[in-house]
Amino acid sequence: MRSLDDLLAEGVSGRRVLVRTDLNVPLDKQTRAITDDGRIRASLPTLQALRDAGARVVVAAHLGRPKGAPDPQYSLAPVAGRLGELLGTGVPLAADVAGDDARAKADALGDGDLLLLENVRFEAAETSKDDTERGGLADRLAALADVYVDDAFGAVHRKHASVYDVAQRLPHVAGRLVAAELDVLTRLTTDPERPYVVVLGGSKVSDKLAVIEALLPKVDRLLVGGGMCFTFLAAQGLGVGRSLLEADQVDTCRRLLAEAGERIVLPVDVVVAPEFSADAETGVVPVEEIPDGQMGLDVGPRTVEAFGRELAGARTVFWNGPMGVFELAPFQAGTRGVARAVAAVDGLSVVGGGDSAAAVRVLGLDEAAYGHISTGGGASLEYLEGRELPGLAVLAD
């Protein structure tokens, strides 16, 4: 797989470079203000290196899940504004993805200039399962540039036109973010330094089942929190009240517990409340005593201590998924406590993107304390599962 440095060594001054980035940032529903610009900031090293080298940079990205047609609430206009602030230059936004306005603006670029295309998912062909449909969009995107750089790690698990098909039409390299993500994931999957501890949270066991199956033979400890822990607790015969429960996964969790023995570590106490609310009256109970009318919405302080002890001696840690509903103040302590324990690891600590990366920033934790914060939760998990990621496979060609 060729790198950005390989491309820069060849010289890019005056050449048009199409860069697929992951700028899928969260927006406030009322104001459309960006609430977390982490992915935009992660794109800067590649974009700035190309601009400094005199490239004419055309950026493609998606935002949200529009239904294959222009939709103002998913416009990349807020992203263009923030990207311009971070780069210290104006960033024009094309009115379309790869149409007349995109072509005109791309043709007008000077050396070191940058253009942001409108949301690639405004084109139904971007996510089409039909190779010919995707190919048509890829042809139009490829016509905007001389070379392609994929720096959108959060999208490499998608066989989309701007991720997969364009790379088949242009000389291609991996951007700095993709290279960094791949380096860290390789370290996690190829002889990781031990003890190797994985922390998994989030809502559903079903969402993490494949990665659990793949990681169990490789890890020394698997710490399970978040809503998914209640299906494991139910598999131990415990009542979970009104907590999130995937009844169809109880037998699977029972099997995993039997196979893993002490390697799977579950919460010993949880924070409960009668309702999902920032004003709810909360309590902390042992996992054996969850009341019928209550729901568990965070791991408790004894669990944070227990998970902290497991993490204290680790040399490699991968964390994906919050320990509770960290968006609400009464249920933040578990995620904050475990996040701090991950940050304190004397070794490689990897935050696996998605809600985990968001939690680090929402809770005001020091991002620099972690070895790596991924920009791609789904892509990271699929890589750890051992699945081929189309966006990476095509770069290796």
pLDDT in tens, the chain (397 residues): 999 999 999 999 999 999 999 999 999 888 999 998 989 999 999 999 999 999 999 999 999 999 999 999 999 999 999 999 999 999 999 999 999 999 999 999 999 999 999 999 999 999 999 999 999 999 999 999 999 999 999 999 999 999 999 999 999 999 999 999 999 999 999 989 999 999 999 888 998 999 999 999 999 999 999 999 999 999 999 999 999 999 999 999 999 999 998 999 999 999 999 998 999 999 999 999 999 999 999 999 999 999 999 999 999 999 999 999 998 999 999 999 999 999 999 999 999 877 888 889 888 899 999 999 988 878 898 999 889 999 999 999 7
Selecting among 169, 194, 204, 218, the annotated active-site residue is 204
For this structure, is 378 an active site residue?
Answer: yes
Q: Which amino acid is at 376?
A: G
Q: Is 129 a catalytic residue?
A: no
- The catalytic residue among 38, 337, 378, 391 is 378
CATH code that applies to domain 192-385: 3.40.50.1260
- Chain Cα centroid distance, residue 267: 25
Options 15, 16, 20, 39, the catalytic residue: 39
Query: Whose CA is closest to 373, among 164, 198, 204, 181?
Result: 181
Residue 365's CB is within 10 A of a number of other CB atoms, namely: 18
Q: Tell the burial category of 329 from Cβ atoms under 10 Å away from its Cβ (0-12, 13-18, 19+).
A: exposed
Cis peptide before 195 (omega within 30 of 0): yes
Query: Rounded distance, CA 226 to CA 202, Å?
Result: 5
Which numeric CATH code is attached to 4-178? 3.40.50.1260
State yes or no: 121 annotated in a binding site: yes
354 is in an annotated binding site: yes
pLDDT at 191: 87
Task: Please check if 65 is assigned to a binding site.
Answer: yes
* Known catalytic residue at 204: yes
26 Cα distance to chain centroid: 12
pLDDT of residue 62: 98
Long-range contacts made by residues 341-344, C-beta under 8 angstroms, separation at least 24? 341/304, 341/307, 341/308, 341/311, 341/312, 342/199, 342/311, 342/317, 342/370, 343/369, 343/370, 344/311, 344/312, 344/369
pLDDT, residue 71, reads 96
What is the structure's pLDDT at 361?
87
Annotation says 176 is catalytic: no
CATH 3.40.50.1260 occupies which residues in the chain?
Answer: 4-178, 192-385
Is 162 annotated in a binding site? The answer is no
Helices marked H in 173-300 — which ranges? 176-189, 205-215, 229-235, 250-260
Question: Cβ atoms within 10 A of the Cβ of 238, count?
Answer: 16
Say what the pLDDT of residue 158 is: 95
The answer to whether the annotation marks 119 as part of a ligand binding site is: no
Catalytic residue among 202, 334, 354, 377: 354
Retrieve residue 376's tokens.
Answer: 């791609």
What's the confidence (pLDDT) of residue 378?
Answer: 85
Q: Rounded to an integer, what distance in angstroms lies between the CA atom of residue 4 and that of residue 10?
A: 10
Q: What is the widest separation between alpha-carbon atoms in the chain?
A: 68
Could you give the dihedral angle defined by the CA atoms of residues 378, 169, 13 and 89, in that order, rounded to the nearest 10 degrees? Answer: -40
